[in-house]
Structure 1
Amino acid sequence: MQHGKVIAYASRQLKPYEMNYPTHDLKLAAVVFAFKIWRHYLYGELCDVFTDHKSLKYIFTQRELNMRQRRWLELLKDYDTNIQYHPGKANVVADALSRKSGMIAGIKVEEEIIRDLERLDIEHYVHGQHGYWASLRVEPDLISQIKEAQKEDSEIWTIVENLDEQTEFCLDEDDVLWQGTRLCVPNDATLREALLTEAHSSPFSVHPGSTKMYHDLKQHFWWSGLKRDVATFVSRCLICQQVKIEHQWASGFLQPLDIPVWKWDEISMDFVIGLPRTQR
């Protein structure tokens, strides 16, 4: 934060070896992570670090440190920083998701927004002069299109009419067809193409191969011929064809040519054509 305003947020998952860290090292690792990614903001500036781990406040004066802590302490000494203790209960901004309140939380909205919620059929209740959202469900636009397209797909309706014979399929409370936990995608070329493009070419997918892309998609979606469509889509991707190398077995060791027994013995012969004429 700077002048009471947030500049940036950052978070990441723990790496496998970090899961074995003690609490003190985990808290210190979070501080080191912040200094590394925000070095351009913090280097040469006076900054305060707020932590809910009280012993971290004395890291600069602590006598006994392990090798990992000493290494991190060398990094922290490059900065003009002051580590302050901030109790977790008071840190409601950072811990809002992990610390549940004892009462039901609501989002207070104004009168104009309440009227908009009524037009959208979003459930809410009014308390005094303010309104509170009781339930609100937001889902990606592509998923909504898939659910709407199910109503007009003949293949989907055939499965619905024979649900008693196909136990792996089921309908939810919105009459949307699922294959176990996977959403059934109707036979709509535009929708399937958009889904394949999102799974392959989006900034979060970074052009996976057909096998990985298929395993990623089949966790959430189902349609007949999914694996075939994924393989066809990946084979048509120009970026993959230009950038990715062909995976093949390494060639064997080079075999030396046989030693000629007599002059003019033919060992091997290569025909090379189309060479330019020399200047001589």
Structure 2
Amino acid sequence: MADGHNVRPLGTIKLPLLIDNQYIYQIFVVADIDIPVVLGYDFMYNNQCVIDVPNKNLLLNSQTVDCHLESQIPSLFKISIDKQVTIPPNSETIIHALPNEKLPYGTTMILDNTSQSFKNKGVLVAKSICTFKGDNLPLRVMNMTDLPQTLYKNTCVGTAETVCSENILGNINAEPDLVLPEHMQVVIEKCKSNLKVDQCKIVVDLLTKYSGAFAMSKMTWEFILDTDASGTGVGAVLSQINDEGKECVIAYFSRTLSKTERQYCVTRRELLAIVLAVKHFHHYLYGVNFTVRTDHGALNWLKNFKNPEGQLARWLEILGTYTFIIKHRAGLKHGNADGLSRRPCVNCKHCDTRDVTEVSYQIENPTIRSINMLDENETEDTPITTNWFNNKTPEEFKQAQLNDPVISRILTWKKSSEKPKWPEISHLSQHHKTYWSQWDRLTVVDGILYRKWENTTTNDINLQYVLPCADRNRVLLLLHNDQLGGHLGFKRTIARIRHRFYWAGYTSFVERWCKRCTACQKRNQPSHHTRGQMKTYIVGEPLERVSLDILGPVTQTCKGNKYVIVVTDYFTRYAEAYGVPDIKAQTVADKLLEEFICRYGLPLQIHTDQGSQFTSDLFIQLCNKLHIDKTRNSPFHPQSSGLVERLNRTIEDMISKFVPKHQKDWDQYLPYLMMAYRSSVHETLGETPWLM
């Protein structure tokens, strides 16, 4: 070796050496060293080698070969298109690309991760293994849209990663060494008598191939039950933690929900999944400790539920015979049970992960659909039938857009492939900016500007004709004012417009049109009933107006009191509260007369709610005899008695801070707390109620 160590050679071998597209046969000495290949002096002398270190190249047989340090070869780099190419719609082709980095000849790479710009166009690049031969790299691309897509030169296709070709070939040619586990062999032995020879072989092959999907349970291992529920079914996975700390699957369970069960709320469905799974795996879980994992955090309260009734009580009784704990697991990590609870969707747009928010579509021979009486979500693909459209040709549609100052500028922009920069349009009108923000949805077909719109009901893609300003009034006359339009409301009119036309600000335009329609305004009734405005009741002296209310029921005290009669004056905010055992009309009338009126005098007006004790004949006769004006608030509208209702909350807050746990002596604190309230400064008055 160059460092002075002696290495014993293992032998020699003659092999072809590929250097920069030329094969040179050379005898190699095989030894146990870390360096992959050593080019000796005899090789360099026989092939007239000249090493140019500053320029990083090697002159080999009068041919220059670029040299690279292994540490400087990039492991991840971008691939760009070599020349411009147009891919027809719904087809695939082979294009040529070049790496953005300088790579040595023979570098093997894996092309992966199609660039986002290609995905937005609906173009996909196949994942492939390529070997760099110093020229172009062949790539297989597919156009998934109904429009031809142009790929420009030097556009990034994706990323590539260098790999060792020996590792790739080794992985491809390696035969998997699969052995049927012992517990599976026991199953096969039991089933052999019921299976034919070819059937038994198929079963063995399947069990061998998917041997990692199941494991043999052991009672010494901890059981884990993962459950989940969807709108159509429930699923569960029973697994265990083996001695190596690895989670192994024991069994799977799933079941569809009945029509009634699908009406359950989310929490009840998740609980049903646990009940069904525990009953299904009863022979595993009965008498052992296990953990239930769910992605529904609300089930953590399961064992703390008080006084369960009905179905919930029956479910909890079933679960009460098992010993388990519930843990919450994030939904992203709960895919095993989640997948079992869902049916696979066929052509389900919402279940697939889409990298492109909108797919480009093209309608052959696009025409503006006729204006007829249609349902909101109904479309019509028949030719133009109205006189206004029959008299117009595609050239007239095109010319009408060119005459519009806003749309004509948009058409000029669309002639170029690049979207204008913000500084170029920042000084323009709001309509220009609206079209600019929808650049990807605007398309030009035969010189006419359209906007792509997706019908959320039918999931169809429609082309909306961008209507010039000069034709908008005429269209509204046909779709709203005409006898086929029927003078329908804003929502139906905008639905008809949306199926056929588009222009910036069309929603507000249609709304103003419907509101200014004379025929509609004469006939339509207002959508709401006019109500009188609420006013503040003004009082000018004490006892001019008194509000009366009842607080309770609360905990019964040792004296038998269960309710509180609250009286407050609107002018002074002076308040009194009396504990009473009941709220009969006789009790309320006696307390008001003896404790309040006899002490403070007659009020001019008493305001109450519509409680039976206040509307009784006894209470009304009392007010009439004392010449007191009796008023009441609206039913189920406590805002009319806001003063006394707010006082009720204040009294509750004060009592709750002093009353002991048994809460049976709150009436003893009541006089002292009311004194504290009356002697404190009221926020509205700026003075104490006692002083007022």
Give the TM-score band, short-chain normalised. Answer: 0.3 to 0.5
Higher relative contact order (CA closer than 8 Å, sequence separation 6+): 1
Higher-strand-fraction structure: 2
Larger Rg: 2
> TM-score, structure 2 length as denominator?
0.14
TM-score, normalising length from structure 1? 0.34
